[in-house]
Amino acid sequence: MARVTFITGGARSGKSRIAEEQAVLHGEPLLYVATGSGGDGEMGERIRRHRQRRGAAWQTIEEPVALAEVLLGHDGYFRATLVDCVTLWLTNMLLATDDREGVLAEVRRTAGLFAGLQTPLYLVSNEVGMGIVPDTPLGRTFRDLAGEANEILAQAADEAYVVFSGLPLKLK
């Protein structure tokens, strides 16, 4: 059974860097599951910087929705897997289906796979509940969904961290 580590924090908190630093300790090869896509120019630049920082040890798979299938399909082939990020995965599913309960069911299904994984897994997610209350129904739905999903994934993980100002605080 592989260890599952959940890492959350605010935007630009250093959570991705912390997850990468922990994952590389397992050796090569490493799998990076990107749930976002190129999008606009600024997002493309972020992706470019992340890839450059990671280097050649990482194989990247871009998968916006079918996370469980990627985890199962690549389990045992890498020394560690890093998913960045859960928040974009949730966004993609919610916008594609407009079904909050269906998204949470997929989160629960994915969390249920953790115990059977052979490859150590690192999940990066944004903490969105510490900011202002969104002024749109979709924004509030997403904030609540992300909070519930983070709770499900953190409880299912072996370890959980929150990152503030580049410093990880172990929660469990």
Q: Which of 36, 23, 4, 7 is nearest to 150 (CA)?
A: 7
Surface-to-core class of residue 158, CB atoms within 10 Å of its CB (0-12 exposed, 13-18 middle, 19+ buried): middle
Q: Which two tokens stand for residue 42?
A: 């600024």
Q: Does the annotation count 50 as an active-site position?
A: yes
Q: What angle do CA 86, 88, 93 make, to 5 degrees?
A: 95
Catalytic residue among 2, 13, 16, 50: 50
Residue that has been written with the tokens 């860097």 in this structure: 17
Enzyme catalytic residues = 50
